[in-house]
């Protein structure tokens, strides 16, 4: 792979392609067609795997079409070891794990869930083979991820990330995309990163840049744990811009934590995805307020909804549910005047577009 490549030519192609995508509504609309015809030209500098995957969604059991994703939860943790020490090889008690998780996921499937993006990153519990077993058992589509989580004061950043360049980290993540993760043959469906609050630290900036470079090679979207930090949003979008990546390839994770709701409009205006991912009964009013604000300003097509739940947590931490969208929030959206098609956009089409593999 060539991360540096012929940048000028690549940049020109990206600009052309972006113009085309904007004109045809690919970046902001709900249609998926016309991507195939472009992929050969626009991804000419990228690897062949990305070309053949353009427009699909990569799950732990293989690629699916966006139309097959169904209702999608873009930010959950089926299991994690968050809170434990950093580890490259998560040691789960699998018997306990399946016993806790499978009945819950069977119920989610019955509620109408089609796809779950698992946001547990490497070094705090990512375990692709377990996700694959669960997917095969439940019939749910599950995505795993590549990337590093540099929030939580960098607790889960491996030591090599400090020594290596953004290009080297991107090569590691791109290799996971090309060859599969840790010998399992299971490929990531998106890039998951995290940054701490305040101005971005050096390691945060490097990880954001590595994500942008990985996107250019793979077409995978980046979901970035950011929270209430507009300055950090601006810095991240600037890094994307420097690397020739459109904000539409970036998800503002935990955007629901903003104290100034108007901040969401800034990111939406740039074209970024705004993820309200703490949906639960206790904060229903706040979520409804934010999604209504985005709707009023014409950005309902860029909103993602999820719970940031966790069905198997470290130690004796209680599970965090991720079914309330179905039983609570969708009915609430209906009673607040959201149309069927707007609800379908929020729960089906938006996450399918956000997670579709496409260089942007
Ligand atoms: Zn999370």
Q: How close is the Cα of 126 to the center of ligand 1, in Å? A: 12
Give the tens place of pLDDT for each residue, 129-144: 999 999 999 999 999 9
What is the rounded average pLDDT of the residues 343-353?
98
Per-residue pLDDT at 79 exceeds 80: yes
Average pLDDT along the chain: 89
Q: How close is the Cα of 73 to the center of ligand 1, in Å? A: 12
Give the tens place of pLDDT for each residue, 263-312: 999 999 999 999 999 999 999 999 999 999 999 999 999 999 999 999 99
Give the tens place of pLDDT for each residue, 161-195: 999 999 999 999 999 999 999 999 999 999 999 99
CB-CB neighbours of 322 under 10 Å:
26
Q: How close is the Cα of 125 to the center of ligand 1, in Å? A: 12
Q: How close is the Cα of 204 to the center of ligand 1, in Å? A: 17
Q: How close is the Cα of 121 to the center of ligand 1, in Å? A: 9
Q: How close is the Cα of 145 to the center of ligand 1, in Å? A: 12
**Percent of the chain clearing pLDDT 90 (strictly above):** 84
Q: How close is the Cα of 175 to the center of ligand 1, in Å? A: 24
Higher pLDDT, residue 35 or 91: 91
Per-residue pLDDT at 339 exceeds 70: yes
Q: Which residues surround ligand 1, an ion (CB under 5 A)?
A: 119, 308
Q: How close is the Cα of 77 to the center of ligand 1, in Å? A: 6
The answer to whether the beta carbons of residues 74 and 275 sit under 8 Å apart is yes
Q: How close is the Cα of 226 to the center of ligand 1, in Å? A: 11
Q: What is the SS3 assignment for the chain? A: CCCCCCHHHHHHHHHHHHHHHHHHCCCCCCCCCCHHHHHHHHCCCCCHHHHHHCCCEEECCEEECHHHCCEEEEEEECCCCECECCCCCCCCCHHHHHHHHHHHHHHHHHHCEEEEEECCCCCCCCCHHHHHHHHHHHCCEEECEECCECCHHHCCCCCHHHHCCHHHHHHHHHHHHHHCCCCCCCCCCEEEEECCCCCCCHHHHHHHHHHHHHHHHHCCCEEEECCCCHHHHHHHHHHHHHCCCCHHHEEEECHHHCCCCHHHHHHHHHCCEEEECCCCHHHHHHHHHHHHHHHHCCCHHHEEECCCCECCCCCCCCCECCCHHHHHHHHHHHHCCCCHHHHHHHHHHHHHHHHCCCCC
Per-residue pLDDT at 258 exceeds 60: yes
Q: How close is the Cα of 37 to the center of ligand 1, in Å? A: 35
Higher pLDDT, residue 344 or 197: 344
Per-residue pLDDT at 20 exceeds 50: no
Quick one: 49 exposed, middle or buried, by C-beta within 10 A (0-12, 13-18, 19+)?
A: middle
**pLDDT at residue number 54:** 84
Q: How close is the Cα of 242 to the center of ligand 1, in Å? A: 27
Which one of 3.40.50.10860, 3.20.20.140, 1.20.1090.10, 1.10.238.10 gives the CATH number of domain 58-355?
Answer: 3.20.20.140
Q: How far apart are CA 48 and CA 178, in angstroms?
A: 9
Q: How close is the Cα of 317 to the center of ligand 1, in Å? A: 15
Q: How close is the Cα of 120 to the center of ligand 1, in Å? A: 7
The answer to whether the beta carbons of residues 277 and 304 sit under 8 Å apart is yes
Q: How close is the Cα of 209 to the center of ligand 1, in Å? A: 21
Q: How close is the Cα of 35 to the center of ligand 1, in Å? A: 30
Q: How close is the Cα of 79 to the center of ligand 1, in Å? A: 10
Predicted structure pTM score: 0.87
Per-residue pLDDT at 1 exceeds 50: no
């Amino acid at each position: 792979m060539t991360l540096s490549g012929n940048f000028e030519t690549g940049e020109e192609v990206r600009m052309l392609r972006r113009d085309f995508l904007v004109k045809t509504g690919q970046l902001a609309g709900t249609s998926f067609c016309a991507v195939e015809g472009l992929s050969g030209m626009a991804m000419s500098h990228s690897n062949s795997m990305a070309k053949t995957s353009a427009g699909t969604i990569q799950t732990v059991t293989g690629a699916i079409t966006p139309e097959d994703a169904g209702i999608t939860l873009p930010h959950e943790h089926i299991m994690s070891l968050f809170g434990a020490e950093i580890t490259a090889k998560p040691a789960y008690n699998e018997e306990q794990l399946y016993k806790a998780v499978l009945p819950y996921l069977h119920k989610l499937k019955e509620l109408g869930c089609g796809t779950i993006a698992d946001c547990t990153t490497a070094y705090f519990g990512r375990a692709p083979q377990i996700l694959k077993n669960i997917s095969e058992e439940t019939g749910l589509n599950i995505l795993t991820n590549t990337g590093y989580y540099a929030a939580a004061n960098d607790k889960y950043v491996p030591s090599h990330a400090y020594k290596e360049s953004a290009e080297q980290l991107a090569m590691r993540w791109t290799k996971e995309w090309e060859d599969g993760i840790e010998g399992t043959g299971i490929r990531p469906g998106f890039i998951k990163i995290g940054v701490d609050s305040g101005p971005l630290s050096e390691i945060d900036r490097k990880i954001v840049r590595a994500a942008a470079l990985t996107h250019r090679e793979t077409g995978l979207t980046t979901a970035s744990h950011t929270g209430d930090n507009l300055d950090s949003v601006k810095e991240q979008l600037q890094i994307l811009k420097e690397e020739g990546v459109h904000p539409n390839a970036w998800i503002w994770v935990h955007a629901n934590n903003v104290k100034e709701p108007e901040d969401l409009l800034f990111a939406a205006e740039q074209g970024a995805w705004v993820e309200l991912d703490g949906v639960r009964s206790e904060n229903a009013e706040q979520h409804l307020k934010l999604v209504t604000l985005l709707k009023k300003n014409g950005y309902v097509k860029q909103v993602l909804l999820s719970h940031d739940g966790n069905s198997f947590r470290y130690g004796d931490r209680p599970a965090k549910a991720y079914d309330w969208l179905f039983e609570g929030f969708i009915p609430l959206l209906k009673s607040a005047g959201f149309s069927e098609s707007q609800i379908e956009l929020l729960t089906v089409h938006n996450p399918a577009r956000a997670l579709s593999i496409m260089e942007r």
